[in-house]
Chains A and B, each alone.
Chain A
């Protein structure tokens, strides 16, 4: 079973490379080069912290776009092109197919994030921020974990919805996931019990992506504590498992005719 999952994951990664998904790295490198050249004057000598902020935030947003737009097409493209029938004609289960697709995109994102992080580290070395070049990697791990959740969300929606609607819904989850803590704090000042219940439900039901937020601290050379990384990893594993299992469940019952 594992070998079949890994085969699908490998092919998903190859397909992403063939589809020129990794071309976004060129744009990212150009962005970093431009920052390294012009930020010295604009930030009055604080270019290292700005490169960390720009680099890590860009890494997150580029990753989110890839996770959404590639993630929603993982299943629908196979159905549209009818290649899904060829796959299921072989001894491959629907669950294995979904898990393999998910892991393949996670691998693509891992490569993407690792190359981007190496680029940020090099840019930091160039502008003299060598102390940040190593410390950003803890935050990079958190960003990657957040991206795995977005990928799982995109895959979940795409297992039963159209690509456009899946992309929209995934983006909404990304927004809610970042705002749920603030919404809950806001709700604490509202008198309506119903509103509080709604915001509490949103806080616990939707993945809370603020657990993975550490970029502002990273700009000071802070490294996320091991407990934070461990907790975030566990949180990501729980939500990813829920979402992927949900996708498997829905996809298993889906009729392709």
Chain B
């Protein structure tokens, strides 16, 4: 009898919980983005040695915070180069709290270096410089700082940072090569490809890896579009007419060698598709191919 009563009451509590959640007044506007009341630097020494655990908590929060912001508008509707419309103002605070509690947490610096530039580039630089100050022998942080300066087209500063990083004992030769490349061809596509390839291979966190992968796909797409439009231009120059369909170019596309030993992709419907599987858009009036409007490839390096 008592067991049945307990089960009944417990069952009744489930819809009641749902109702309470549904009927709860919404949080005040902007509440979710209010400044954090605790600062990581102030907590050190006051948390019974659990600094690492609390750093993990802030790290998870920073991932959930950005994830939640992106999910609220949809991944396909965001510009990965400018997230300011999402107002993710707390990301810097979350990441700073993380690294203030655990100064060796390199993944937090690298995440900040790849995501924060889309919010506030100065915050990204400050966080990465803090990482270098805390971990002077970690060449990856120089790589990320060089990347931020490269993204803002400050090639001299980027070269300076890569040079500093290349002097670290176990730094790969890539840093020295990048230091030189920044001086001579900082804005080239090949430099961008090398940078993102390194970031993809070395990333400590999945977000940075995904970001680098997306950028590499963008660069691959630029290669494909360049070759495709060159072919269209030569076809038009030869016959005086633009081809009716892209499929007319397939035999010639097969012989084109793309960087990274890649080749063009054709789907089951015999359509020429970009690296994410969306068919290229063909504007016969202009005799040019371009990315589909639905394509997931960003357009930031054009």
Residue ranges of A at the interface with B (Cβ–Cβ < 8 Å): 42-46, 49-50, 52-54, 57, 60-61, 174-175, 178-179, 181-182, 185, 210, 212-216, 218-220
In the complex with contacts A44-B206, A49-B56, A57-B50 CB distance below 8 A: yes
A42-B64 contact given A54-B53, A178-B49, A215-B53, CB 8 Å threshold: yes
User: Which A-chain residue is minimally distant from B44 (CB atoms)?
Assistant: A182
B53: contacting residue among A42, A53, A214, CB under 8 A: A53
Contact assessment for B53 and A46 in the assembled complex, using a CB-CB cutoff below 8 Å: no
Chain B residues with CB below 8 A from A219, complex form: 52, 102
Q: A46-B205, A175-B48 are in contact. List 8 more A-B contacts (CB 8 A).
A: A45-B205, A46-B56, A57-B50, A57-B53, A181-B45, A212-B49, A216-B101, A220-B104
Task: Pick 27 A–B contacts, CB within 8 A, sort by A.
Answer: A42-B64, A43-B56, A43-B59, A44-B205, A44-B206, A46-B59, A46-B107, A49-B52, A49-B56, A50-B56, A50-B60, A53-B52, A53-B53, A53-B55, A60-B48, A60-B49, A61-B48, A178-B48, A179-B46, A210-B45, A210-B49, A212-B49, A213-B49, A214-B49, A216-B49, A216-B55, A219-B102
Interface of chain B residues 58 through 79 with chain A (CB within 8 A)? 59-60, 63-64
- Bound-state CA distance A216–B99 (Å) is 12
Q: Which residues of B are found within 8 Å of A174, using beta-carbon distances?
A: 48
Cross-chain contact A53 with B49 (CB below 8 angstroms)? no
Main secondary structure of the interface of B (DSSP, over half): helix
Chain B: how many interface residues by the 8 Å CB criterion?
A: 24
CA distance A218 to B104 in the complex (A): 12
Chain A residue at smallest Cβ distance from B60: A42
Measured between beta carbons, the chain A residues less than 8 angstroms from B102 are 216, 219
Query: Smallest CB–CB gap between B224 and chain A, Å?
Result: 31
Judging by beta carbons under 8 Å apart, are B63 and A44 in contact?
A: yes
Task: Give the dominant DSSP class at A's interface.
Answer: helix
Q: A182 CA to B49 CA in the complex, in Å?
A: 12
Contact of A182 among B45, B101, B204, B207 (CB under 8 A): B45
- Give chain B residues whose Cβ lies under 8 Å from the Cβ of A53: 50, 52-53, 55-56
Q: How many angstroms between the C-alpha atoms of A44 and B61 in the bound complex?
A: 11
Which 3 A/B pairs are nearest by Cβ-Cβ distance? A213-B49, A216-B52, A182-B45
Q: Taking the complex as formed, is B51 at the interface, i.e. its CB lies under 8 A from any CB of chain A?
A: yes
A215→B107 CA distance, assembly (Å)? 18
- Give A59 Cβ to nearest chain B Cβ, in Å: 11
Contacts of A49 in B (CB 8 A): 52, 56
Cα A179 to Cα B49 with chains together (Å)? 10
How long is the Cα–Cα vector from A45 to B60 in the complex, in angstroms? Answer: 11
Q: How far is the CB of B47 from chain A (nearest CB, A)?
A: 8
Instruction: Give Cα A113–Cα B60 distance, bound, in whole angstroms.
Output: 27
B241 → chain A closest CB, angstroms: 52
Q: How far is the CA of A178 from the CA of B52 in the complex (A)?
A: 15
Q: Which of B44, B49, B55 has the most CB of A within 10 A?
A: B49
Which residues in B have their C-beta under 8 angstroms from that of A185? 45
| A46 contacts across to B, CB distance below 8 A | 56, 59, 107, 204-205
Output the residue of B45, B52, B205 with the most chain A CB within 10 A: B52
Residues of B within 8 A of A43 (CB): 56, 59-60, 63
Cβ contact within 8 Å between A215 and B52: yes
User: Which residue of chain A is the closest to B210 with respect to CB atoms?
Assistant: A44
Check A44 against B46 for contact (C-beta < 8 Å): no
- Report Cα–Cα, A254/B193, bound state, in Å: 79
Contacts of B206 in A (CB 8 A): 44-45
Which A residues are in CB contact (< 8 Å) with B111?
44
